[in-house]
Amino acid sequence: DQQVKQNSPSLSVQEGRISILNCDYTNSMFDYFLWYKKYPAEGPTFLISISSIKDKNEDGRFTVFLNKSAKHLSLHIVPSQPGDSAVYFCAASFMTTDSWGKLQFGAGTQVVVTP
Amino acid sequence: NAGVTQTPKFRILKIGQSMTLQCAQDMNHNYMYWYRQDPGMGLKLIYYSVGAGITDKGEVPNGYNVSRSTTEDFPLRLELAAPSQTSVYFCASSILEFPHPTNEKLFFGSGTQLSVL
């Protein structure tokens, strides 16, 4: 029973344009959300996070938006660069020490940035 | 910096065989985790450890065992391999930070691709 869903398995975007990745969750008790990025033959690496008390968090070219009423979050990458070609995982958790590191992951979205 | 090291990178097992996936970290992290990723699915937590001598089950522990005799090492044991265990296995580590713990500081290894035939 997947509690975090990424319904788009792939996304192709031109270099310089905006990439928008979407993620939905079913458990309204989640209060912390993360995006991880994964290159082939490597482990996931942390990209950006947001707690449920916020609706937006920015870090350079990456912005995450959270809509709690819709149980939806999105990751915007502006502008997209060829090095952004990777699989992006959405993850959710609870901000408690008992839940430390226990993340619920989505299935991932493969992003391809074309020249 | 080595970070989290997993061995082997690839392995093919026959049904019923056993093996141990190795994981070591050199960051002195107290927390360590094993996740698996099946094709088209998200990562799922198998087991985790909050320190040497302490382990606990995650979401999908059946068919696996772990031990944590040192801070650095967290091996995952498959006793009777089954086709359902074909997956990519990721080990991760982290350190609990206060006063505002967040879950972002997970460091992953590069994974072990396991096929059970």
Mean pLDDT, chain A, rounded, equals 94
For residue B106, give Cα distances in angstroms to A36, A82, B3, B13: 10, 25, 11, 29
CB–CB contact B33 A101 (8 Å): yes
Q: Quick one: which of A8, A2, A4 has its CA closest to A24? A: A4
The shortest C-alpha distance from B11 to chain A (Å) reads 14
Q: Is B106 in the A-facing interface, judged by CB distances under 8 Å?
A: yes
Rounded to an integer, what distance in angstroms lies between the CA atom of residue A23 and that of residue A7?
7
- C-beta atoms surrounding B18 within 10 Å: 10
The confidence score (pLDDT) of residue A97 equals: 74
C-alpha span between A20 and A74 (Å, rounded): 7
- For residue B58, give how far its alpha carbon lies from the nearest alpha carbon of chain A (Å): 8
E strand residue ranges, A39-115: 45-51, 56-59, 62-67, 72-77, 86-93, 104-105, 109-114
- Average pLDDT along chain B: 92
Answer yes or no: do B90 and A44 touch at CB < 8 A.
yes
Locate A106 and state its tokens.
């989505």
Q: What is the DSSP letter of A52?
A: T
How confident is residue B86, by pLDDT bands cut at 50, 70 and 90? very high
Contact A2 B92 (CB under 8 A): no
- Between residues 36 and 95 of chain B, which touch chain A (CB distance below 8 Å)? 40-45, 48, 50, 58, 90, 92, 94
Q: Which of A22, A20, A18 is nearest to A5 (CA)?
A: A22
pLDDT > 60? residue A30: yes
Determine the residue among B21, B103, B108 to mutate to test chain A binding: the one whose Cβ has the most chain A Cβ atoms within 10 Å.
B103
Quick one: pLDDT band at residue B101, thresholds 50, 70, 90?
low
